[in-house]
Amino acid sequence: MKIRKLKIDWQELEEAFSRRQHDFVSYLDRVTGELVMDGEGEEEDHDAPSYGASGAPVAATSRKDDVTRRYIRPPGTARKVGWFQVFLDKEEGLDAEAVTQLREALTDPEPTDKIIAILRQNPELSDAWYDYRAHRVREMIDEWLTADGIEPVEPAPWRS
């Protein structure tokens, strides 16, 4: 596999991997390193015709089919719930009552809203969780870049 060196906007990439909005999708352009968002509300008119060098209209292509762009798939609910279970098992010094409530929330078919409500009531626990999640997302980004043969020009800020 050919290694591609790219200048990466780490903050944008981390935000794309952390995005919870389902009406937006993000891509990393493997040529320019630019992060591209596609979805409802985007300013760019993707339906407008584009024209080639000859002046003839060029057929529009879906960004998912564009070979220069790599789709960014944020972690799904199941993955985040798995992270949350590990977080509750490994972290020490957490509020025992809140941990019990969180474990109960994890048994719900849709635990996200209950978890968020409990975290809002426990700022210290919330901070610990979001710090833990950020580390998992950063590991995911590192694995994703490596799997695609992308070598950042500058190291990620969490590496320096």
Model pTM score: 0.77
Do both 123 and 155 map to the same domain? Answer: no
Q: Is residue 55 part of a domain?
A: no
Question: Following CA atoms 20, 139, 114, 108 in sequence, which dihedral angle do they give, to the nearest 10 degrees?
Answer: 100
Does residue 69 sit in the same domain as residue 81?
no
> Do 30 and 69 belong together in one domain?
yes
Say which residues have a Cβ less than 8 Å from residue 66's Cβ, sequence separation at least 6: 27
Q: Are residues 100 and 87 in the same domain?
A: yes
Q: Are 34 and 85 members of one domain?
A: no
Residue 135: per-residue pLDDT? 95
Q: Is residue 113 part of a domain?
A: yes
What pairing do the DSSP bridges indicate for beta strands 4-6 and 150-152? parallel
3-30 tens-digit pLDDT: 789 999 999 999 999 987 777 889 999 8
Are 115 and 102 in contact, with CB atoms under 8 Å apart? yes
The answer to whether position 25 is within a domain reads yes
The reply to whether 82 and 103 lie within a common domain is: yes
Domain limits for position 123 = 77-134
Same domain for 68 and 17? Answer: yes
Residue 104 covered by a domain: yes
Judgement on whether residues 36 and 92 belong to the same structural domain of the protein: no
Check residue 1 and give its pLDDT: 62
CB 6 within 8 A of CB 33: yes
In this predicted model, what pLDDT tens digit does every residue of 66-111 receive, in sequence order? 678 889 999 988 898 999 999 999 888 888 999 999 999 999 888 8
Domain identity same for 154 and 100: no
Does residue 38 carry a pLDDT above 50?
Answer: yes
What was the pLDDT predicted at 52?
42
Class of residue 95 by CB neighbours under 10 A (exposed 0-12, middle 13-18, buried 19+): middle
Q: What's the structural domain count of the chain?
A: 2
**Both structure tokens of 27:** 């891509």
Specify the pLDDT at position 19. Answer: 83
Please state, in angstroms and as integers, the Cα–Cα distance from residue 73 to each residue in 89, 103, 105, 135, 153, following that order: 26, 26, 25, 17, 22
Q: State pLDDT tens for residues 105-132.
A: 999 888 889 999 999 999 999 999 999 9
Assess whether 153 and 120 both reside in one domain. no
Question: Rounded CA gap, 42 and 44, in Å?
Answer: 6
- The confidence band for 48, taking pLDDT boundaries of 50, 70 and 90, is very low
* Alpha carbon of residue 146 to chain centroid: 16
